[in-house]
Amino acid sequence: MLEIVILAAGKGTRMCSELPKVLHTLAGKPFLQHVLDRSDELASANTFVVVGHGAEMVRKNVRAKQLTFVEQLDQLGTGHAVKQALPHFSGESTVLILYGDVPLISTETLSALVDVVTEKALGLLTVNLQNPTGYGRIVRDSTGTVQAIVEQKDADKDELLISEVNTGVLAVKAKDLKVWLPALSDDNVQKEYLLTDIIAMANKEGKEIVTTQPSQTFEVLGVNNRIQQAELERVFQSAIAGRLMETGVTLLDPSRFDCRGEITAGKDCIIDVNCVFEGDVSLGDGVTIGPNCHIKDAKIGNNVEIKSHTVIESATLGNDVAVGPFARLRPQAVLGDKAKIGNFVEIKKSKIGVNSKVSHLSYVGDAKIGDNVNIGAGTITCNYDGVNKFPTTIADGVFVGSNTALVAPVSLGENVTVAAGSVVTVDVPDDALAVARSRQRNIDGWVRPSKDD
Ligand code: UD1
Ligand code: CA
């Protein structure tokens, strides 16, 4: 049985923030949540998060299966932190120790580590770094057997030259932790109970210390400040970008691509620079997305063209649709095949039928628009009386002239024509022309006022 403990009690002073460090985000998701998601994938029987600084806020902002929070009131070291969870571990389990500020660790790396743990061996994740400064060094004897981990502050001159370092991640039998953790002392330069000291204890007991290495070095990088946060963000984004390109998507610049959720795409999609994707986004085949678009929770069909500066949230687009530039599709906008939404058009909670067009400067809210409808520039559905929202229904084949106000609730029958500049307050029957504006009056020979008077 696997139990996971995630250390997340530290303050994260170098983030210079009111927010606990582990709640800072990578791809829009708290660091700690990334780690918890791995924990769920590993099917951990119990997951314990050791919290201290900002404990309440941490509790409220993350979730996982079988999750228990354990409080560490004073941060007396990593060994002390794990010890807080000790009473919860079942004797037979393997305990995997992770960090809430090391967000990119992969399940493959972790399962390989967990696999080496036996009654006689524990697993230690190490990595070789060109610059090992700050990390605990892995001390081996002449046969290559791991003897101990020596922290930077406790290391002598020779030990400081060792490039193999402790990632902090380790897997060990709970039984052994129950013996070793209570025996830790804080007799070191940092005056802390160092988890790393259990390695020397294990060695003394004749246990084998099996080291494994992460598939990629970035997996074990922790975040201590906002510069490292930004660096890991790019690493994470380039991994997503890489996966998309491998499945047939062209990214005009993968370094200017951001996905803060899940994106799937068919073949031959082209995504221009500075687009941000959030939530669940799916693109069909042959979708092109212009620069600077923000797309969140959207289902987009085949051969759709989304032009620059378009904002889409919780919307569904059929096939062969064109949207933008500068369009905004708000929640529950549903566009039928071949629909066209042009610049400065906002669509909210509305269905636009097949081959219907709203090309310029319009607001369509709480409306049902049929097929082959043309909505002229500057048309507004007046759906709100200050308290309630009302629907507008527009049947197939309607032509709405420019600068029309449709005062809901109102409905336009099939093939209705609305004269430009109308304020439509009553329903219009099929095939009628609605003219709802004052008649034009011309005054002959009109003399304009002049400044000389
Ligand atoms: C630790 C390791 C070091 C390793 C490095 C990798 C120890 C003693 N040292 O050093 O060998 O190379 O990680 O990054 O383990 N924490 C608590 N409670 C505490 C202390 C720490 O929850 O009382 C948490 C912190 O929030 C942090 C993590 O544990 O997320 C690591 O603690 P930190 O003190 O930063 O360890 P390092 O000095 O980096
Ligand atoms: Ca420390």
Of the candidates 53, 88, 294, 360, the residue annotated as catalytic is 360
Q: From the alpha carbon of 222, which atom of ligand 1 is closest?
A: 14
Ligand 2 mean position, distance from CA 224 (Å):
11
Query: SS3 for 375?
Result: strand
What is the structure's pLDDT at 403?
98
Q: Is the pTM of this model over 0.85?
A: yes
Ligand 1 cavity residues, CB under 6 Å: 7-10, 50, 72, 75-78, 80-81, 99-101, 135-136, 149, 151, 165-168, 194-196, 222
CA angle 100–236–109, rounded 5-degree value = 60
Ligand number nearest CA of 99 is 1
Q: Which atom of ligand 1 is nearest to the CA of 194?
A: 8
For residue 97, the CA-to-ligand 1 centroid distance in Å is: 11
pLDDT in tens, 343-358: 999 999 999 999 999 9
pLDDT in the model for residue 427: 98
Distance 13 CA to ligand 2 centre (A): 12
Q: Residue 452's pLDDT is what?
A: 78
CA of 221 to the centre of ligand 2 (A): 15
Residue-wise pLDDT for 287-314, tens only, equals: 999 999 999 999 999 999 999 999 999 9
Helix ranges, 166-225 (H): 174-180, 197-204
How buried is 189 (Cβ within 10 angstroms: 0-12 exposed, 13-18 middle, 19+ buried)? exposed
| Parts of the chain with a pLDDT under 70 | 453
Active site residue 80: no
Angle between helices 31-41 and 107-115 (to 10 degrees): 50
8 Å CB contact between 422 and 436: yes
Please tell me the predicted confidence (pLDDT) of residue 453.
65
- Closest CA to ligand 1's atom 31: 78
How many angstroms separate the CA atoms of 25 and 29, rounded? 5
Q: What pLDDT, on the 0 to 100 scale, is given for residue 341?
A: 98
Burial pattern 15-35, b for ≥16 Cβ within 10 A else e, equals beeeebbbbbbbbebbbbbbb
